[in-house]
Amino acid sequence: MKEAFPGIKGIPYEGPKSRNPLSFKHYNAAEVVEGKTMGEHLRFSVAYWHSFRNGCADMFGMPTRLMPWDDGSPSLENAKTRARVAFEFFEKLGAPFYCFHDRDVAPEGKTLAETNKNLDEVVKVLKQEQQRTGVKLLWGTANLFSHPRYLHGAGTTCNADVFAFAAAQVAKAIEVTKELDGAGYVFWGGREGYKSLLNTDMGRELDHLAKLLHMAVDYKKQIGFRGQFYIEPKPKEPTKHQYDSDAAACYAFLQRYDLVDHLKLNIEANHATLAGHTFQHELEFAAAIGLLGSVDANRGDLMLGWDTDQFPTDLYDTTLAMLTILKAGGFTTGGLNFDAHVARESFEPVDLFHAHIGGMDAFARGLKIAAAIRKDGVIDKFMKERYASWDSGIGANIEAGKVNFKQLSQYMLEKGNPAPNSSGRVEMLENLLNEYI
């Protein structure tokens, strides 16, 4: 097959002094940080949908991206060619992983049977390409939001037949993820929400969504898929309100429906900000409850209130994210998946390289800066001292559940007043962060 990116052999690491835009300045896969290589820490993944299915149309304009390898048809041949091109890109970029939705890789047929057959055909190519290149599948997923049948949702639809179709689609998507040895499988509830509460039985819809997930958990066991399941929070878009609105809402849902042992969280930066949180807040919450699984690495735009899915370049964001990820012990099955697309104005094939290089370098720098902060231990030390009153005496007794209201009242009656607190030193800590960045 003719090369799709003929001018590019690969993206080398050339170090911070290089002025070659098609090189890494910070991401050096083999470089060891905190006892692991950068490659092992960051586990970068390319999102098939944005990089190979998104022509960058917007509400006002047509697609702009040049994808000369793609004939624009829904044919199987085109899908197979696209798959080969995608692997050429992963390989040249040096991305160890990719992620896909079932419908990204293969066309929908007239019936479920035909659609499944199409998927099997393309999965054969994906498998060959994985073997040829060593690139692995970080996670697979089912697209339960694009087709008109899902206009009311999939797990939360009012139409039981549509629920059944969604279940069949998820079953097949888990099967092919297993076939491709995927490290995980994601549930993002694209239309699992509502437009109007006047037509929505919220309790019933939540019960149904939980049913779908329980069936998936059962099926996973049944077929012996050992990858990790994730749920991906997002508050809105395309629905006005999505049930899995943020990490805390997902946690409440997973607990209520007894699913908490079966799914971890896939935190996306732009979804966090749409929910009115920072990226780090969502990561920190997921880490605090022990469910930080994987990350969709991107960013929004301060001026725009929607999911712009831009490539991450903000060093504060990547540093704070890596601080939390390192504190949580790093990724096991998860990784950093660039759920991001090039700008509509960046329409040439080479822009796909620039975009990913930028994201990978931004996270590599974030990793190095976070590791330097952790090595010096200043923030850790500050944190430890801030909570020192809990390490012994009354604090330790409260944590151990050894005292009740009566005993605490007695303790304070005797003591009179709490000792004055020390300052939170917010500005000092912010200044310190700047020193490292």
Which chain residues interact with ligand XUL by CB under 6 A? 101, 141, 186, 188, 232, 234, 268, 296, 307, 339
Q: CB 335 → ligand XUL: shortest distance, Å? A: 13
268 is a contact residue toward Co ion (CB under 5 A): yes
Q: List alpha helices for 142-201, DSSP H.
A: 160-179
Q: CB 288 → ligand XUL: shortest distance, Å? A: 22
Cβ proximity to ligand XUL, 69 vs 100, nearer residue: 100
Cβ proximity to ligand XUL, 13 vs 165, nearer residue: 165
CA 387, 391, 395, 400 dihedral sign is positive
Which of ligand XUL, Co ion, none lies near 234, with the C-beta cut-off 5 to 8 A by kind? Answer: ligand XUL
Q: Which two tokens stand for residue 319?
A: 């540093």
Cβ proximity to Co ion, 267 vs 371, nearer residue: 267
Rounded to an integer, what distance in angstroms lies between the CA atom of residue 299 and that of residue 292? 19
Rounded to an integer, what distance in angstroms lies between the CA atom of residue 206 and that of residue 43? 33
| Position of minimal CB gap to ligand XUL | 188
Q: Which of 234, 210, 233, 214 is nearest to 222 (CA)?
A: 214
22, 24, 123 from 94: Cα distances, Å: 12, 10, 21
Cβ proximity to ligand XUL, 13 vs 145, nearer residue: 145
Q: CB 183 → Co ion: shortest distance, Å? A: 16
Cβ proximity to Co ion, 296 vs 361, nearer residue: 296
CB count within 10 Å of CB 96 equals 20
Q: CB 168 → ligand XUL: shortest distance, Å? A: 18
Which positions from 338 through 397 interact with Co ion, judged by CB under 5 A? 339
Rounded to an integer, what distance in angstroms lies between the CA atom of residue 389 and that of residue 411? 15
Which of Co ion, ligand XUL, none lies near 205, with the C-beta cut-off 5 to 8 A by kind? Answer: none
Give CA torsion, residues 384, 389, 394, 400, to 10 deg: -20
Q: Which two tokens stand for residue 311?
A: 């490539």
317 is a contact residue toward Co ion (CB under 5 A): no
CB distance 346 to 21 below 8 Å: no
Q: CB 339 → ligand XUL: shortest distance, Å? A: 5
Q: CB 180 → Co ion: shortest distance, Å? A: 19
309 is a contact residue toward Co ion (CB under 5 A): no
198-210 in b/e burial notation, b at 16+ Cβ within 10 A? eebeeeebbebbb
- Would you give the binding string for Co ion spanning residues 186-225, x where CB under 5 A is met? ----------------------------------------
Catalytic, 101? Answer: yes
Q: Which two tokens stand for residue 376?
A: 């010096």
What count of residues does the chain have? 437
CB distance 121 to 106 below 8 Å: yes
Q: Which member of 50, 102, 104, 296 is catalytic?
A: 104
Cβ proximity to ligand XUL, 324 vs 337, nearer residue: 337
Which of Co ion, ligand XUL, none lies near 333, with the C-beta cut-off 5 to 8 A by kind? Answer: none
Looking at residue 17, the DSSP 8-state letter turns out to be T
Cβ proximity to ligand XUL, 145 vs 225, nearer residue: 145
244 is a contact residue toward Co ion (CB under 5 A): no
Q: CB 187 → ligand XUL: shortest distance, Å? A: 8
> Distance of alpha carbon 48 from its chain centroid, rounded?
13
Q: CB 309 → Co ion: shortest distance, Å? A: 8
Q: Which member of 101, 208, 277, 341 is catalytic?
A: 101
401-426 in b/e burial notation, b at 16+ Cβ within 10 A? eeeeeeeeeeeeeeeeeeeeeeeeee
Segment (H or E) for 338: strand 336-338
Which of ligand XUL, Co ion, none lies near 307, with the C-beta cut-off 5 to 8 A by kind? Answer: ligand XUL
104 is a contact residue toward Co ion (CB under 5 A): no
User: Using the rule CB under 5 A, which residue among 192, 244, 296, 361 binds Co ion?
Assistant: 296
DSSP states of 413-434 as a string? HHH-SPPPPPP--HHHHHHHHH
Residue 19 backbone dihedrals phi, psi, to 5 degrees: -110, 10
Q: What is the DSSP pairing of strand 97-101 with strand 44-47?
A: parallel
307 is a contact residue toward Co ion (CB under 5 A): no
Stretch that binds Co ion, among 27-35, 92-100, 294-302, 381-389 (CB under 5 A): 294-302
282 is a contact residue toward Co ion (CB under 5 A): no
Cβ proximity to ligand XUL, 175 vs 373, nearer residue: 175
Active site residues: 101, 104
Q: Tell me which residues touch Co ion (CB under 5 A).
A: 268, 296, 339
